[in-house]
């Protein structure tokens, strides 16, 4: 994946002195016979994995055929707000830092290489990259390595320019494996994952999950955000 060799830095890459990792996501997720809808802002103190989450959740949508729309996102600000605080050790990242510095070792941390011949292996690798992107801040170098991991996913295909649910343009990649198709949209400049969307097939076909990563960075406190810094 040639994107990996030209990943640009972001302002947050230079903010390593700030104690909190900040992530703002919106997600639609299958839960048995309904689709849950959540907006989550998360601050994690990197030194001890404590932190805070601010969650807004819309009413669940019955059935499995729901298709999220840009207009539907406008309801999140009016949804009830819940704050959850986490003590030290309660808000762990997807993978412990420091992450492996080469793509082969990183891929092995995301999906056991012993399963490389299993039908689910491509899906496991892609889910691992999504897990990283939705759990912790990835530096410029780490983003490049995750792109190299994606480049090694069996049967990954390039879908050209795509636009996510938030209206952001990026480059689309998809993987079909183990009864589902997962699409990633990446920022072509910074290598950041903008969104991930999985549809499943079979007897219970439909939306499995969709996540938008709206903002990520570092913050000085568990109430400030990267965009609110002076």
Per-residue model confidence as pLDDT tens digits over 100-146: 999 999 999 999 999 999 999 999 999 999 999 999 999 999 999 99
Residue 58 has pLDDT above 70, yes or no: yes
Q: What phi, psi does 76 have (nearest 5°)? A: -60, -45
Tell me if 121 sits within 8 A of 111, measured CB to CB. Answer: yes
pLDDT digits (tens, 9 = 90+) for 160-218: 999 999 999 999 999 999 999 999 999 999 999 999 999 998 878 899 999 999 999 99
Percent of the chain with pLDDT over 70: 98
pLDDT of residue 230: 38
| Distance between CA atoms of residues 212 and 77, nearest Å | 15
pLDDT greater than 50 at residue 36: yes
């Amino acid at each position: 994946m040639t994107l990996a060799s030209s990943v640009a830095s972001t302002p947050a890459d230079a903010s390593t002195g700030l104690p909190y990792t900040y992530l703002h996501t919106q997600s639609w997720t299958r839960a048995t016979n309904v689709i849950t809808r959540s907006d989550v802002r998360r601050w994690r103190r990197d030194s001890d994995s404590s932190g805070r989450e601010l969650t807004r959740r819309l009413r669940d949508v019955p059935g499995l055929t729901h298709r999220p729309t840009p207009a539907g996102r406008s309801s999140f600000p009016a949804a009830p707000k819940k704050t959850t605080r986490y003590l030290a050790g309660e808000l762990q990242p997807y993978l412990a830092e420091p992450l492996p510095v080469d793509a082969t070792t990183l891929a092995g941390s995301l999906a056991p290489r012993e399963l490389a011949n299993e039908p689910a292996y491509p899906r496991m690798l892609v889910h691992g990259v999504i897990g990283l992107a939705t759990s912790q801040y990835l530096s410029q170098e780490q983003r490049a390595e995750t792109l190299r991991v994606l480049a090694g996913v069996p049967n990954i295909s390039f879908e050209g320019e795509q636009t996510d649910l938030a209206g952001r343009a990026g480059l689309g990649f998809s993987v079909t494996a183990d009864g589902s198709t997962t699409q990633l949209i990446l920022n072509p400049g910074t290598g950041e994952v903008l969104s991930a969307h999985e549809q499943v097939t079979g007897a219970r076909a439909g939306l499995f999950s969709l996540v938008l990563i709206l903002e990520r960075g570092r913050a000085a406190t568990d109430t400030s955000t990267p965009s609110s810094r002076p």
